[in-house]
Structure 1
């Protein structure tokens, strides 16, 4: 029985993997939060991995507070880059497979066509810079790793755009949402299923892959879809990013091309609307 270690167990993706794990009883699961595996303590990582002895690591942990990363760049670099290097090095020397989660923020947002895996990177904020450094360290230490870049992640778990919008659309009469950042959201449950498909696939194909749901929308259009599905009565106004300044700059365009992951592993990528409806149905069932 293969032992799977999931880091970032309490995050959106880690939580969705935990939900699905019961359907994969042929695998032995270890879900590690910060109390079991503290990635900010670089010296301890290898020792903990030695104790667990996983055959596959799904590295879903990381520093994800994009705006805060502008101030806490050192901590973001430890979690998103240096810890990844240590994990990748351990997996390379222990015949352990590694799936590492990265982000669309490794790109500068200047493209106007869906981004393929080989597209030129150029992060425009500290978060993206630390994640790109993590990707490079991962592939340097373990060329047999799989990296999955994803975007605009939401879920029934944790804090995210969908849950925030559902709350604000009930509380307010009008809401401003940025309309000039283009991409596609990712339902973490879909990404979790994709990861499980990859690690149980007959063929392991190392490299970088892109995954999000299908569709090309702005945050404003995403908010409109949430409003329509939820039946909320609130006026949503599209505004330019310039009218909503944030400490960290966001890429204007970060739509990911998913054809490589679909072709390599036979992954079917759902449309964003279908996945959003499924997530909101789950949220509505919660007490």
Structure 2
């Protein structure tokens, strides 16, 4: 069996141009650079800890996706996490192109890659890659990366982030494709990766219009990803923001997918991680879970 560690809550890298100021009553108050936003957050249960701070907002996202702002954000609107720079914008979904709770995963991936003792660049596959946080972290650590996302606008946004981070010429392949279909084709091609990263959505729609739910498709998806791991891989990183899927649930799914691998060199280490943002006010905002496996 794979050894499992329960890690403590994971919060963004210190020194980032981001802060969760407060959360409660189903909303979150955040600072991105100098721009303060009030956004819906169903996981923000309980009362607000610092109600006086909510008068500071530059913009508010309503549940229908409409933004009400005092003025436009800076242009370009950039936020730094370590050496990575993300360009943000207000979207109709209420998102800004950045999930700060993923920052500890970017740090983990970078550390994993920098510690690798290979005679070549590590190969990384990033599925459901969105605006490219994990891609940038991997490229900055010296990896060659295959970045896959079905949404072309997200792919273009990720390339903007790479350029802003000084990684425009890094060895990144930008693939506009369905992540599940691409991964299955990579298995048939016999391709392998040292590190596989995936952050699948709760619900998806394939290229043929078929709908799927992560809770139903996760075992098959992980089985495909495990088959893509190199003989001596560096690891696998899974994260999800799906109600009903805890860190323990994700760990159990990864453990089951890994059961068929050769474990003659040991089961490896599997770390189950709740992703929780800590606010300056003392509030805590659950933001999904992650599992990190290293051999």
Q: Tell me the TM-score range normalised by the shorter chain.
A: 0.3 to 0.5
Answer 1 or 2: which has greater strand percent.
2
What is the TM-score normalised by the length of structure 1?
0.35
What is the TM-score normalised by the length of structure 2?
0.34
